[in-house]
Homo-oligomer: A and B are copies of this chain.
Amino acid sequence: MMNTKLNGLFCPESVAVIGASNSFDKLGYHVMKSLVEGRYAGRIFPVNPRGGEIWGLSSHASLGAIPEPVDLAVIAVPAKFVPETLHECGKKRVKGVVMITAGFREIEDSKGEALQEEIGRIARTYDLPVIGPNTFGFVNLTFGVNASFTPEFSRLNKGGIALVSQSGGFCHLCGFLAMDQRMGMSKLMSLGNRLNVGFPELLHHLVEEDEATRVITLYIEGLDDPRELLDAAKALRGRKHIIAYKSGKSEKGDSASRFHTGSLAGDYQIWQGALRQAGMLEVVSAEQMIDVAKALDVCAPLKGPRIAVLSGQAGPGLIAADSVEKAGLQLARFSQKTQEIINRILPPIAIRSNPVDMGPAWYDAKSSLEILQAALEDEGTDGVIFIAMFASANVGLAKSLAEHLRTAPAFNKPVVGVFTAPRGVWDKEIAQMDGAGGISIVPTPERAGALMGDLFRANRLVNRV
């Protein structure tokens, strides 16, 4: 376990890019772009034996030629040069390595396996933590360093969610969806072939050393020794939410997984039970992962199964009500007091029992919020789904809601919002509302109901109920 050293790797005061380049075709170009355009505040040292300026910075012929200490070395040179480079890293006493280079254990050629064993021995010699090989790198949004070949990840919102993935492709899928859904992240990384830093080390680091991370998401294809991960999760249980996505479920997928990151996927059913027993919340899609991680980060916990659905339009409210029951939860029964408040605000042309059709209040943020407040204060309600579809006549609704929410105290129960509009119409308002006062926004009423089910499961898992 190397977790005590991971802070140096993830929060480096200086970064050397070995294989830095001005040529678009080289990954070292894109890593330099990530650091420079991502406004990394530490020192950046491009390393390239050809010399000259790279991305406007003087390059160094080798790591050893850099006259200052280097905390993080990003390696993006061909595989055959990696052993020598790793020796240099050890001699330079870097605190950690990101090894982007591929062509090790994951390739068909047995030379890859041998090369990975060799670099494993070198890393052990110097006690060097290595992310990779065969990784796109990592982004630490909290610290402000993008040590990856994808500069666009610097655009992610800062927040409490860390993603640790066995696949770089999944990080890209999830990272872009996260941008679209305004999810705030702390760290994002792919572990690649996991030379000596794997899921257990990351779990310890994220739970014990990383205060900014409140929710941990894992994408797992297959592991040689799943017990290490499960034991780590069990040992840390109850401290932070851990969400796990297991792929390689099918026989064919299993064989693909083995080739991809060099390990067997194992039996999916066994995985499901084991994840649950270790207190991890299993999800089955990237969209579900994002919905639940985001809500766990910003909402109050869902402590019971009774959900109120308040919708500006009856149809989407009905759909949300269906999805609440499909998720195994119940529609709350309002107290007399709550019902009286709703009846006072809404005329009898509306459906005033749960799911509430707030139609007549849909132009009026104040009335909508009064109903929301009444539903939240009802002792028979554990969480609320709050829906409004855009229409030309209610265009001002989102702005008023956003203004009210900006200064409102945080809700004491989870509120999941659905505000659907043509792109460009409510984008700014939705971005302002998302997270404000503990409301988390999803794209559809079906996902709102499913999310409530996940929030309820997550609360039970983390509290060992």
Contacts and interface: CB of A to CB of B under 8 A. Distances in A.
Contact of A321 (B112, B149, B253): B253
A420 B397 CA distance: 31
Given A167-B318, A286-B446, A420 B355 contact: no
Contacts of A25: 393
A448 to B, nearest CB: 11
Contact of A152 (B219, B261, B425): B425
Contact of A446 (B180, B287, B318, B393): B287
A8 interface: no
A331 B444 CA distance: 31
A156 to B, nearest CB: 9
B256 A318 contact: yes
B247 A136 contact: no
Contacts of A176: 389-390, 420-422
A392 B151 contact: yes
Contacts of A152: 390, 392, 422, 425
B315 A170 contact: yes
Contact of A392 (B30, B167, B257, B285): B30
A102 B421 CA distance: 23
A211 to B, nearest CB: 28
Interface stretch (A81-89, A306-314, A334-342, A455-463): A306-314
A291 interface: no
Interface string A134-157: 001000000000000111100100
A348 B259 CA distance: 11
Given A169-B316, A313-B172, A389-B173, A322 B446 contact: no
A378 to B, nearest CB: 16
Contacts of A30: 391-393
Residue among A150, A351, A354 with most chain B CB within 10 A: A351
Contact of A315 (B27, B219, B317, B322): B219
A221 interface: yes
Interface stretch (A103-111, A234-242, A272-280): A103-111
* Copies of this chain present: 2
Nearest to A348: B108
A46 interface: no
Nearest to A246: B322
Nearest to A444: B286
A155 B422 contact: yes
A248 B318 contact: yes
B318 A420 contact: no
Contacts of A287: 443-444, 446
A445 interface: yes
A27 B103 CA distance: 64
Contacts of A250: 321-322, 325-326, 331
Contacts of A317: 169, 256
A247 B348 contact: no
Contacts of A319: 170, 173, 247, 286
B348 A311 contact: no
Contacts of A249: 322, 325-326
B256 A355 contact: yes
A369 to B, nearest CB: 20
A184 to B, nearest CB: 16
Interface in A93-134: 102-103, 106-109, 112
Q: Which 4 A-B pairs have the closest CB atoms?
A: A167-B315, A169-B313, A169-B315, A172-B389
Interface of A: 24-25, 27, 29-30, 33-34, 102-103, 106-109, 112, 136, 149-152, 155, 165-170, 172-173, 176-177, 179-180, 219, 221, 247-250, 252-253, 255-257, 259-261, 284-287, 311-319, 321-322, 325-326, 331, 348-349, 351, 353-355, 357, 389-393, 420-423, 425, 443-446
23 contacts: A30-B392, A103-B349, A108-B348, A151-B392, A152-B422, A152-B425, A166-B315, A167-B316, A167-B318, A168-B313, A172-B313, A172-B391, A173-B389, A176-B390, A177-B443, A219-B315, A221-B318, A250-B321, A252-B325, A253-B318, A260-B351, A285-B446, A286-B319
